[in-house]
Amino acid sequence: MFIESANSPVRNVLSVASLNRLVRDCLETAFPLTWVGGEISNLTYAASGHVYFSLKDSTAQVRCVMWRNKAQLLGWRLENGQKIEARALVSFYEPRGEFQLNVEAIRRAGQGDLFEQFTRLKTRLEAEGLFSADIKRPLPEHPHALAIVTSPQAAALRDVLSTLRRRAPHIRIDLYPTPVQGEGAGEKIAQALQVAGRSDCDAIILCRGGGSIEDLWSFNDEAVARAIRASKMPVVSGVGHETDFTIADFAADLRAPTPTAAAELLSPDREALLNRLSQLNRQMRQQTSRSLAERGQQIDWLASRLTHPAQRLQQQRESLRHQGFRLTNAARWQISAPKMKLNGLSASLSQLDPLAVLTRGYAIAIGPDGKAVRDAGTLTVGSELRLNFARGSALGTVNQVVATPEAD
């Protein structure tokens, strides 16, 4: 066996920091997250929000730390002497060279059995279709009344009522009181749900504040789940904090992360509704004004095409008078035209009337044969003639005949 003397050259010497880092890497690599059970001792809540304690059993102990971001999600306060189960990462605190557990989550001792019961019940009810999305009922948009199933002493009730008064003070609130934890609480919650389900409310809020799995265990009762599904109105669950899940949450028509959120889901924001109504009112007035203007324009156009009865009668009178005038003129023309024609013919006849010629100083010679003498050559000296004048006649004898030569 070779033993290196103190005078030998130094090779592969680790610093303390390097050693501690290697130890830490080995521990964190070798041990995944695991559950460790024990009793709390040496508990310290630091001002930074971190929680330091030791976890011990009858023969050993180990130092533990729960960082602030994890401790804030715990939901209940740790105390010395409590039996717990911690989900932790095995680690090594390098600055002091101390072995410790970095705790991610904590549950009370025995919760593993409760979680197993929870899982079995959830699997069975889910197989029945009790949690199916197809049977979820829609929430009312504008409820007039809400039923609240919870304890009258619950802080969650104050949060719900405050939210409803702020957002929708017009909604009627009916409280159906029931214990929310303790022996027999599950059955009483189911009974309260049954009574509330027969009311005239529009929806049910099932709520309580946060707590440990034991505090919330009443909401994992099968009777509560079946009462939720048997309700004739939708049920919103607001049980515990956002990280808490119960059987009631899966059975409900909608799960809210907190009781306050449940109240918000079922209460339309009054200010938002008033703003929306104001907007709709403006739109309606604008549309009404536009519609009235269009109708008025259409009426004016139709009115321009319509005639008042008196005006229409006047127009008819004018038309009748005009027609009468035309008929009168036509009748006069029908009468006067023949008369004028007759007068023209009469004038023409008058011009052709021998008597009319005689009135101009002419005379008609009637020969011995009683006919008018047209040619002097037909007369002989001594022939008797009768001269007809315009007024009267005279008898005479031809003394001389002067013949007019014929034209070439």
> Cα-flanking dihedrals φ and ψ of residue 203, to 5°?
-165, 165
User: Distance between CA atoms of 364 and 369, rounded to whole angstroms?
Assistant: 14
Which pLDDT score, from 0 to 100, does residue 111 have? 60
CB-based burial label for 408 (10 Å; 0-12, 13-18, 19+): exposed
User: Distance between CA atoms of 152 and 154, rounded to whole angstroms?
Assistant: 6
The CATH number of 114-270, from 1.10.150.530, 2.60.120.10, 3.40.50.261, 3.90.1170.40, is: 3.40.50.261
Which pLDDT score, from 0 to 100, does residue 3 have? 46
How large is the angle between the packed helices 222-230 and 185-197, nearest 10 degrees?
A: 0
Q: Is 245 helix (H, G, I), strand (E, B) or coil?
A: coil
Which pLDDT score, from 0 to 100, does residue 18 have? 85
* CATH node for 16-109: 2.40.50.140
pLDDT digits (tens, 9 = 90+) for 168-180: 888 999 999 999 9
Domain locations along the chain: 16-109, 114-270, 348-408
Residue 60's closest CA among 37, 82, 26? 37
Which pLDDT score, from 0 to 100, does residue 304 have? 74
Residue 157's closest CA among 165, 167, 148? 148
User: Distance between CA atoms of 262 and 160, rounded to whole angstroms?
Assistant: 8
Q: Which residues of the chain have pLDDT under 50?
A: 1-3
User: Distance between CA atoms of 302 and 294, rounded to whole angstroms?
Assistant: 12
Residue 233's closest CA among 203, 265, 266? 203
Which pLDDT score, from 0 to 100, does residue 324 have? 83
The answer to whether the predicted template modeling score (pTM) of the entire model surpasses 0.75 is: no
Token pair for residue 312?
A: 């229409």
Which pLDDT score, from 0 to 100, does residue 154 have? 87
CB neighbours (10 Å) of residue 193? 26
Which pLDDT score, from 0 to 100, does residue 338 have? 80
Residues 248/225, Cβ–Cβ less than 8 Å: yes
Asked whether the domain spanning 114-270 has the same topology as the one spanning 16-109, the reply is no
User: Distance between CA atoms of 40 and 62, rounded to whole angstroms?
Assistant: 10
Q: Is 44 helix (H, G, I), strand (E, B) or coil?
A: strand
Question: Which amino acid is present at 294?
Answer: E
Which pLDDT score, from 0 to 100, does residue 1 have? 40
